[in-house]
Amino acid sequence: MANVRGEFSSRIGFILAAAGSAVGLGNIWGFPTQTANNGGAAFVLVYLILAFSLAYPAFMAELLIGRYGQANAVTSLQKLSRTLFQKRFAFIVGFGGIIFASLILSFYGILAGRMMSFAIEPITQIAGLDAISGWVVTDSLIRNLFFTASFMFLTLYIIRKGVKEGIEKWSSRLMPLLIGLLICLIVYVFTLEGASVGLNAYLNPDFTRTLDPNLIISALGQAFFSLSIGTSTMVIYGSYISKKENLISLGAQVTLIDVSIAFLAGLLIIPAMYVAQAQGVAIFAEDGSLISGSNVVFVVLPSLFSSMGAVGSIVAFTFFVLMTIAALTSSISMLETPVSYVVERHNMERKKASMIIGGVIFIISAAIISNVEVLLGLVITIATEYGQPIIAMLACIFVGWIWHRNEILKELQQGNDDVENSFFWKVWPWYVKFICPTAIALVFIHYLNT
Ligand code: PHE
């Protein structure tokens, strides 16, 4: 049956699935890289403030739209609309998000494929397959195509099975493992020389830098990407949440998990950068900037793992497998976004819709791979720097200006008796109405001006 809607079977199932969408390469790769690029602790501080004060309210707006509509993003938004104009606006916001989720998946698959190749490399080493091991980590067209396709297949395999059997089952099993390994690695890093300098760089902010507009903008973009906002993804995940759940606390918990994992990843990778530097690997230039730019995580981690001696290969393997999994719980949420739309609006069978959309996205990935230097950066910029902020801003406008306050309250009251007197209800409606759209618009205007 194509059109029986899924629902997360348990509270913890949703938390893990939504946290699975949020936690991904953005946390473990993007956040530490951005932190190192933007003055360390000052970035961390601004990121934390923005994640809770702007990203969380926008995240709640999207979840709420989905839970109310119990449908894909376009249908859910249209259920809130009264006039024809609003319905058209709803289509643009919902469909726009779906397009950006698909575009994000097209480059995410390439990066996640690279993670997979790093997971396979230690096995080929242990097995003594030197030729393969070299091929696996050397950037080449064929390697990139191969691993991107493999990653896409994994994503498709899970998505074809639907909400309960696919998304929820996998997310609940794998997320806790990732957190456990991160903590073990942090403990290990702090036994090494140089880690305390890194800790200082990570936690001791230079407050004068916190006002740097570029830093603020990068931190906001990172917070949006990390919570998967502005892609219709959280609308569709919201639609799978039962009406018995307390949405306010669910959303807060997912935000906390997402931010904590980014914070933990930074606590591992920033000190590891200084450890690597102390061991003679060139990480920072004289002026403190990163030598290998956004690839630094790929340089630092292997060097950390090789310092572990014999167990290093096993740890490297485990780490990159878990990274691939973290990417997978995000990629399934991206693919679910267009798939649920086509299944519900065009009555297509789920398996067929998954295959067709997965295929189209892979073709876009292949096009990007054919000219990585130009296209990768371009697609990332279009989807994350323009697309996500605009769609998130429009979703906030929808909730703040089109949706009736009383209806919002009624939706929030399902699964929570005490909304009216809560701090959330006193602040959040104003927030989504005025502060979120204004702040996001400012970010966007800045992009246009630079
Ligand atoms: N939040 C995911 C990450 O941090 C990326 C993502 C973006 C997932 C948009 C879904 C939608 O890696």
Give backbone dihedrals phi and psi of 193, rounded to 5 degrees, phi first.
Answer: -70, 135
Nearest CA to ligand 1 atom 11: 228
Q: Structure tokens of 88?
A: 């058209």
Read off the pLDDT of residues 7-16 as tens digits, 9 standing for 90 and up.
Answer: 666 666 667 7
| Cβ neighbours, 10 Å, residue 442 | 15
Q: What is the ipTM of this complex?
A: 0.98
Distance from the alpha carbon of residue 439 to the mean position of ligand 1, in angstroms: 21
Distance from the alpha carbon of residue 229 to the mean position of ligand 1, in angstroms: 8
| Angle, helices 41-50/247-278, rounded to nearest 10 degrees | 170
Confidence band for 331, pLDDT divided at 50, 70 and 90: very high
- The pLDDT of residue 413 is 93
Q: Is residue 178 part of a domain?
A: yes
- The pLDDT of residue 10 is 64
Distances, alpha carbon 90 to alpha carbons 38, 78, 202, in Å: 36, 5, 42
Q: Is residue 159 part of a domain?
A: yes
Distance from the alpha carbon of residue 102 to the mean position of ligand 1, in angstroms: 11
Q: Is residue 348 part of a domain?
A: yes
Distance from the alpha carbon of residue 165 to the mean position of ligand 1, in angstroms: 21
Residue 284's SS3 state is strand
In the DSSP assignment, the letter for residue 290 is B
- The pLDDT of residue 104 is 96
Distance from the alpha carbon of residue 103 to the mean position of ligand 1, in angstroms: 12
pTM of the model: 0.89
Count of structural domains within the chain: 1
Residues whose beta carbon lies within 6 Å of some atom of ligand 1: 21-22, 24-27, 101, 104, 225-226, 228, 231, 233, 330, 333-334
Q: Report whether 248 contacts 352 (CB < 8 A).
A: no
Q: Is residue 5 part of a domain?
A: no
- The pLDDT of residue 1 is 36
Select the more confidently predicted residue: 223 or 294.
223
Distances, alpha carbon 4 to alpha carbons 236, 240, 243, 339, 340, in Å: 15, 12, 17, 14, 11
Nearest CA to ligand 1 atom 6: 228
- The pLDDT of residue 423 is 92
Q: Structure tokens of 95?
A: 């469909």
Distance from the alpha carbon of residue 157 to the mean position of ligand 1, in angstroms: 19
Mean pLDDT (the chain, rounded): 87
Q: Structure tokens of 74?
A: 């376009």
Q: Is residue 1 part of a domain?
A: no
Confidence band for 439, pLDDT divided at 50, 70 and 90: confident
Q: DSSP letter string over 392-414?
A: HHHHHHIIIIIS-HHHHHHHHHT
Distance from the alpha carbon of residue 25 to the mean position of ligand 1, in angstroms: 8
Distances, alpha carbon 312 to alpha carbons 28, 112, 302, in Å: 19, 21, 9
Nearest to 88, CA basis, from 439, 435, 398: 398
Give the Cα separation of 2 and 344 in Å (integer). 8
Give backbone dihedrals phi and psi of 214, rounded to 5 degrees, phi first.
Answer: -65, -40
Residue with tokens 């950066």: 377
Distance from the alpha carbon of residue 105 to the mean position of ligand 1, in angstroms: 9
Distances, alpha carbon 69 to alpha carbons 72, 168, 411, in Å: 8, 21, 10
Our CA angle for 351, 355, 361, nearest 5°, is: 145
Q: What integer is the mean pLDDT of 117-130? A: 79
Read off the pLDDT of residues 135-177 as tens digits, 9 standing for 90 and up.
Answer: 776 777 888 899 999 999 999 988 877 656 656 666 667 778 8
Q: Is residue 6 part of a domain?
A: no
Q: Report whether 383 contacts 434 (CB < 8 A).
A: no
User: What distance lies between CA 129 and its chain's CA centroid?
Assistant: 34
Distance from the alpha carbon of residue 22 to the mean position of ligand 1, in angstroms: 5
Percent of the chain with pLDDT over 90: 49
Atom of ligand 1 nearest to the CA of 227: 1
Atom of ligand 1 nearest to the CA of 327: 12
Q: Report whether 358 contacts 155 (CB < 8 A).
A: yes
| Cβ neighbours, 10 Å, residue 373 | 7
Distance from the alpha carbon of residue 11 to the mean position of ligand 1, in angstroms: 21
pLDDT at 3 over 50: no
Distances, alpha carbon 127 to alpha carbons 113, 290, 342, 428, in Å: 21, 34, 44, 56
Domain extent, residue 262, equals: 11-449
Distance from the alpha carbon of residue 222 to the mean position of ligand 1, in angstroms: 10
Nearest CA to ligand 1 atom 7: 228
Q: Structure tokens of 427?
A: 């602040």
Give every CB contact of residue 137 below 8 A, 6+ residues apart in sequence: 117, 118, 121
Return the CATH number at 17.
1.10.4160
Q: Structure tokens of 335?
A: 């693919």
- The pLDDT of residue 2 is 38
Q: Report whether 255 contacts 51 (CB < 8 A).
A: yes
Q: What integer is the mean pLDDT of 391-412? A: 93
Residue 283's SS3 state is coil
Q: DSSP letter string over 32-57?
A: HHHHHHTTTHHHHHHHHHHIIIIIHH
Nearest to 76, CA basis, from 232, 211, 198: 232
